[in-house]
Amino acid sequence: METRASLVDTLAQTSLFADLSRPELEAVAHEFDEEAFAEGQRVLRQGLSGSSLYVILDGAAVVRRDDEEIARLGRGDFFGEISILTEGPPTSDIVAEGVLHCLVIPRPDVERFLLERPRVMLRMLRAEANRLRGMLEWQS
Amino acid sequence: MAVVELPFPPGAYGVVVVGSGPAGLQAAYELRRRGVDHAVLSADEAPGGMFRTLPIFERLISWTKPEAPYAHGSREYELYDHNSLVADEERCQACMASLMDRTYDVPSRAEMEAGLARFAELAGLRVRYGCRWEATRNDGEGFVLETSDGEYRCRAVVFAVGVTTPWTAPIPGLEHAAHYVDVRRADEYDGRSVFIVGKRNSAFEVANSLLPWARRIVLASPRAIRTDVLGHSPLRTRYLQPLDEHVRGGFGTSIVDASVERIERNADGFRVHTRGTSWDGPLVFDCDDVIAATGFRAPLQDLTRLGVTTVADERIPAQTAFWESVSVPGIYFAGNATLGSPGLRKQGLSSNSGSVNGFRYNARVLVRHLAEKHFDVAPPRPLVEPDQLVSFLLRELATAPELWIQKGYLCRIVNLAADGLRDDGILPLQIFVDEPGPDACAIAVEMAADGTIYPAVYLRARNRVAEHPLSPHPLHDYETEEHRRALSELVDPLLGST
């Protein structure tokens, strides 16, 4: 039997939202949808415009570019932000590995969502910096 | 003594449908039309589902316009009638149109219930009423449904059970409040101060109905109302009046962005403790009544124990593009619950599956899929003459109700088959984009973030899909020379192969 924490409790344990108060977390849970994907289902599609920002609440996903796996994502990770910030379609597929639960922040809402929550934006920036450092170290 | 024989006695069937609301009836109609062995069970005594009791204050939010440029019964008329179920035979079409008393262009609850009953009668749909689904097992080859009348076995099951079981948010003290479904007649709130927890459709429906009676109305929930979004939403017909009072500074009605922390009952009524979300600090309200307009959930009974994954605090089953449980193959959903399959969400636009206009098409596409996947009943795929392809697609883009009502979600597909171009009918756009298939084109109507509606073309070549938005038109006329030229260029490679 599936027993899961409430959506607000799950958000509270997600590092991206760690600085939000309980009422702020409730507002996020009320405003945005949770979506669950079947094993093998695509969440982001390489080259297809208009996609959203996703935060993984439970489960895992694979990043795939031109049918080659390039990374794996797990609980608390987010994806879709690069496509939104650069205003282009995603450069990779994201595919659910087992049942995957995400919070979805639709593309048109992302800018306002971040501007209204600067601490979330800072945490996102830190995560991006860490990713970039990882890539630079790997290249050197 | 007359003995009325109930249809669908317990036993083995291809598909079992549970429910006799609009989605259950639409699914039943489609299963019979495609010749799939099935049974339809309902705990109710008559057709109508939620519309036998809801909405409380008696009016829907989706239109049925008796007058339109297209004849009742035509496919194009479905765009003007969002509340009738859809059928092939003319006598079963546009059931709602003649039932409207024309006080409004949205039906009353009673009109809606009557329209569904008329459809069931005209279509001669059989339902085993008074048969309650009680438990579910997976026996390895399919499912066993235990009901009040006995056991039903089937290969696939379609739950069309609505999203109408009251859901109450986990707020301490909210159990003392009346849920939306238990709200009394409006005049019984004469002179009272009413606190409504929630700011969605049902909350505003109650607020609007109490405006002439209540002394004070407060609506509160953590999420701020976004008036820019409201303008694009069918909910506006409910929202306008209480919202209008609030934004103009009327003291009788307040709409508050606050998390409700706890509710205390006292000798005078209730004290509600809240904390702001779009502003800082606490606010305390004293009131005579608290109404929990906190929404509904699908009555999934033991399905979560069977492994059915849910979202939104177990309120909605999560589904694939063909409305199958993401975690238990063979369990399908129809009706309001198909909100659990939002589609590609391009530019944030989700499926329009929370009302009859959208989910009537979902049920039709679902049965087509079930028939082909589980029972080898292929849908007709008529040939399209190459010189007719562009005209056919432009006409669909301009008038197909499925594409217009399920924007960005349902599409029309034409495949390049061995013997020419074949019309593959209406399917979820997500299927076209994600599943392998022959070279093909699909068309959809989409909406940009700013609300602009435009036609879109998808081309699949060697299982790579490319998208091509076409120009919008102020009157949504996509049969212009410009659109013809643009589409002709796009489909040229497809035509070159025929």
Q: What is the pLDDT of residues B32-50, one digit of tens each?
A: 999 999 999 999 999 999 9
* Residues B307, A2: C-beta atoms closer than 8 Å: yes
Q: Where in chain B is the domain with CATH 3.50.50.60?
A: 11-164+297-374, 174-294
DSSP output for B445-493: EEE-TTS-EEEEEEEEETTEEEEEEPPP-TT----SHHHHHHHHHHHHH
Residues 6+ apart with CB under 8 A from B416: B422, B438, B439, B440, B494, B497, B498
Residues 6+ apart with CB under 8 A from B6: B128, B129, B130, B131, B149
Interface of A with B (CB under 8 A): 1-2, 4, 6-7, 22-24, 26-27, 29-31, 33-38, 41-42, 45, 47-52, 99, 101, 104, 106-109
* Residues B304, A45: C-beta atoms closer than 8 Å: no
Residues 6+ apart with CB under 8 A from B144: B136, B137, B138, B151, B152, B153
Determine the pLDDT at residue A8. 94
Is it true that domain B174-294 has CATH number 3.50.50.60? yes
**What does the pLDDT average to over B233-248?**
79
CA atoms within 13 A on the CB side of B91: 6
A7-139 CATH: 2.60.120.10
Q: Rounded distance, CA A78 to CA A56, Å?
A: 6
Q: Out of B313, B348, B467, whose CB is closest to A106?
A: B348
Q: What is the pLDDT of residues B452-461, one digit of tens each?
A: 999 999 999 9
Determine the pLDDT at residue B3. 63
> In the numeric block, which tokens belong to residue B7?
């249809």
Evaluate the omega torsion of the peptide bond into residue B382 and state whether it is cis, within 30 degrees of 0. no
Beta bridge partners of B282: B275
B228 touches chain A (CB under 8 A): no
The size of chain B, in residues, is 498
Strand pairing of A68-73 and B38-41? unpaired
Q: What is the pLDDT of residues A31-58, one digit of tens each?
A: 999 999 999 999 999 999 999 999 999 9
Q: What is the pLDDT of residues B170-189, one digit of tens each?
A: 899 999 999 999 999 999 99
> In the numeric block, which tokens belong to residue B435?
């599943």
Q: Rounded distance, CA B107 to CA B109, Å?
A: 6
Nearest to B351 by CA among B433, B435, B411: B411
> In the numeric block, which tokens belong to residue B277?
């979300």
Determine the pLDDT at residue B201. 87
Chain A residues whose beta carbon lies within 8 Å of the beta carbon of residue B466: 47
| Chain B residue with minimum CA distance to A47 | B466
Q: Out of B258, B310, B346, whose CB is closest to A50?
A: B346
Q: CB B83: neighbour CB atoms within 10 A?
A: 26
Q: By CB neighbour count within 10 A (0-12 exposed, 13-18 middle, 19+ buried), where does B463 fall?
A: exposed
Chain A residues whose beta carbon lies within 8 Å of the beta carbon of residue B449: 107-108
B480 touches chain A (CB under 8 A): no
**What does the pLDDT average to over B240-248?**
89
Determine the pLDDT at residue B420. 95
Q: How many CB pairs under 8 A join A and B?
A: 98
Burial B377-404 (b: 16+ CB within 10 A, else e): eebeeeebeeeebbebbbebbbbbbbbb
Q: Rounded distance, CA B387 to CA B378, Å?
A: 26
**Domain ranges (residues) in chain A:** 7-139
Q: Which CATH superfamily, name and number, covers B11-164+297-374?
A: FAD/NAD(P)-binding domain (3.50.50.60)
Determine the pLDDT at residue A1. 35
B168 touches chain A (CB under 8 A): no
- In three-state secondary structure terms, B266 is strand
Q: Rounded distance, CA A28 to CA B169, Å?
A: 15
